Chains A and B, each alone.
Chain A
Amino acid sequence: MLAQVVFYVFAAVLLLSGVMVISVRNPVHAVLFLILAFFNAAGLFLIAGAEFLAMLLVIVYVGAVAVLFLFVVMMLDIDFTQLREGLQRNAPIGACVGAILFAELVMAVSNWTMAPAGAGGSVQAAPGLTNTAALGTLIYTHYVLLFQACGLVLLVAMIGAIVLTLRQTGSGRRQNIEKQHARTREDTLELVQLPLGENVLEQGGFLRPGTSYYEIAVPGSYGAAEQPKEAEKEETGA
């Protein structure tokens, strides 16, 4: 009884927050509702006895994916009202497609017969095995090849992201770590006694050492042509 009540509460909140995700005006709010939806789905998993999936959902989706979404929403300058206009214009077509898909689903489900449990090679967990242990056996023993291959897919994605976006050009300003470590306080820090109402610059201070960037930069990463000009600018500009 209690389980049913809890189920309906979680399910109702899940559905509501799902609707809110696509209907609220502010994209940040949409992401926050998405997080709420994830939490409620995790609750449903808990009721179903899939505690490992529940934790996974919270850690992976709430902890990583949703935060990433939040970053994307905040970092990218997307005009969401404009997107919404398109939505309204295409709503009839979308509704038609949705209706067709729904009809198809109904047709598919109406002549659905469950396959006999464990038909063909599916691996049954031994009794007394926890969910986590059973999943571990599946992923790391039976399907270890696929698991590792998925890892390679992620590695390829990472290589791709780097090779397509990293530009070793003048604006790179890569640090030379050894030089960076070898610097002392005296090289970079200057203490100036300031009388009240006086500006640092007027007392002979500087905004930043004119040479500091390219002294510690990897040769070439700073852009050879720009070096003297920019150093000069820093000094005179200061």
Chain B
Amino acid sequence: MSATSVNWTLALPEIALALAGLVILVFGVLQREGKGIVSCTMLTVAAFIGCAALVVVSPDGVAYAGTFVNDGFARFMKILALLGGVVALVLTLSYRTNDRVPLPFETAVLILFSTLGALIMASSANLMTLFVGLELSSLSIYILCALERDDVTSSEAGLKYFVLGSLASGLLLYGMSLVYGYAGTMAYTGLIAAIQQAGALPSGLMVGLVFIMVGLSFKLSVVPFHMWTPDVYQGAPTPITAYMAGAPKFAAFALFLRVMSGPFGTMAPRWQILIEALSILSMVYGAFAAIPQTNIKRLMAYSSIGHMGYALMGLAAASTNGVRATLVYLAAYLVMNAGVFAVITAMRRKGREVTSLSDLAGLGRTDPGLAAALAIFMFSMVGAPPLAGFFGKLMVFAAAWQSGLYVLVVIGAVSSVVGAYYYLRVVKVMYFDAASEALDRPARSLLFVSGSMGLATVFFILALGPLMAMARQAALALGG
């Protein structure tokens, strides 16, 4: 199979998902005003599940003149992204804005297109594919953030994310153009050849790589490119925040892993130190800046910054083990993060959303089930065994240790302990503070998500074997 053949069936999951998105859009427009959200969301969930089935059976190979690649790594990331999308969609079902109206039906369509962008990113074999996928994914999210347009914080979130995101896209494009200028190609295979050919590395290529890293770090909300995260997480409608913390992060990580260990893999000693720095800064900042937070959505924003730092540790290791560890970490993060946001979406009092930490006071008595679920997620985020988060952290620490990054591991462990303070504070507020007014009874879909994610967090160890095997395959596909 030559690199120039079209071989279009490789992108069948993406094509099917795009067509499904168009059909759902038309279907939604034909519904009566404000009525389409439930049916559109269910259709989108069905489309995601169908797409996931197609992803599982999709063959390996390179398609579309070498712009699109399908391998074990792409499949792993696509499944994660689709799962994240499904969870966020279920959360939108019962969500009501402060005016007590559901989100418009376009929410489901935009989540679908954003996830489609994430899938394209996971399969990128060319910097152009990377950029188009990233834009499709980000543009949808900018709009999703501002969906509650009568809410000032939501509009602010959308605008802030849009402006800063455009800047990041510009930096990314600048980096790509430099790489293209110095290597003469944008295909990853061509870049590998060009870097191996060039005896001394041209400085322009290195500068381009740094710019690409900056652009991707922004999407990952890694310190020092994290400024937008707390405001956007707080302002966006909660199900959208849940989505943002899931699928797009996995996609950006997929890009990071693919670009760094693929075309720039031979330059590893040069970028390793940068990734280390990003990882350390994110872990430390995520841990310390979260301490004074009183809003649980902001808290989760800082928590996500910290988690991205830990996940980057695996990449900093620059080994197959490291990539595998990052993949397992992301899978664990998906599960516990989705659970936490299901609980946050359920935090309502007299139909209005409450997001302050003090609103959780006494939840242990007023709603023991929900409190237990949130406590499980918090312990998992800390990394307490035998919950999901523990295995993720264990693996990235082990991978970094094997690669001799002892400083990184020590700092990671310390910030993990600091992070435990604010995670456990949530547990303390729920169980030991004087009870405030009880929250509304959560919708069944939210109970379902938080319950199932809670079980997945507790019994993560049972799925660990097959998951590690899959992650290993994915990492090998990337390295080879």
Contact = CB atoms under 8 A, between A and B. Distances in A.
A156 interface: yes
Interface class of chain B by DSSP: helix
Nearest to A161: B143
Contacts of B3: 121
A148 interface: yes
Given A115-B194, A159-B109, A163-B147, A146 B128 contact: yes
Given A112-B204, A115-B183, A153-B132, A146 B191 contact: no
Contacts of B4: 121, 123, 142
Interface residues of B, number: 54
Contact of B65 (A114, A142, A160, A168): A142
A116 interface: yes
A156 B136 contact: yes
A179 to B, nearest CB: 19
Nearest to B103: A163
B156 interface: no
Given A115-B182, A152-B116, A120 B67 contact: no
A113 interface: yes
Given A120-B189, A148-B18, A163-B104, A156 B64 contact: no
Contacts of B272: none
B67 A146 contact: yes
A159 B146 CA distance: 13
B200 to A, nearest CB: 10
A151 B441 CA distance: 43
Contacts of A168: 33
Contacts of A159: 25, 106, 109-110, 143
Contact of B139 (A144, A153, A163): A153
Interface string B60-78: 0001111110000000000
Interface string A156-181: 11011011100010000000000000
A145 B113 contact: no
Nearest to B149: A164
Given A121-B185, A146-B132, A141 B190 contact: no
Contacts of B133: 149
A3 interface: no
Contacts of B184: 114-116, 119-120, 122
Contacts of B116: 152
A102 interface: no
A82 interface: no
Interface string B176-214: 001001111101011101100000001110010000000
B6 interface: yes
A146 B125 CA distance: 12
Contacts of A163: 104, 106, 110, 143, 147
A164 B143 contact: yes
Given A146-B128, A157-B139, A164 B202 contact: no
A108 interface: yes
A70 to B, nearest CB: 23
A193 interface: no
Nearest to A145: B64
Interface in A99-141: 108, 111-116, 119-123, 141
A150 B132 CA distance: 7
B335 interface: no
Contacts of A113: 202
B149 A149 contact: no
Contacts of A121: 3-4, 65-66, 185, 187, 189-190
Given A146-B64, A160-B142, A153 B185 contact: no
A163 B25 CA distance: 12
Nearest to A160: B143
**Most B-side CB within 10 Å, residue of A153, A155, A156, A162:** A156
A162 B66 CA distance: 36
B185 A144 contact: no
16 contacts: A113-B202, A116-B184, A120-B189, A120-B191, A120-B194, A121-B185, A142-B65, A144-B8, A145-B67, A148-B18, A149-B129, A153-B135, A156-B136, A159-B106, A159-B110, A160-B142
8 cross-chain pairs, A with B, having the tightest CB-CB distances, nearest first: A120-B190, A115-B184, A120-B185, A142-B65, A160-B143, A119-B184, A121-B187, A145-B64
Given A143-B67, A153-B139, 9 more contacts: A115-B194, A123-B4, A142-B64, A143-B65, A145-B11, A145-B67, A148-B18, A156-B113, A164-B158
Interface of B: 3-4, 6, 8, 11, 14, 18, 21, 25, 33, 63-68, 104, 106, 109-110, 113, 116-117, 120, 128-129, 132-133, 135-136, 139-140, 142-143, 146-147, 149, 158, 178, 181-185, 187, 189-191, 193-194, 202-204, 207
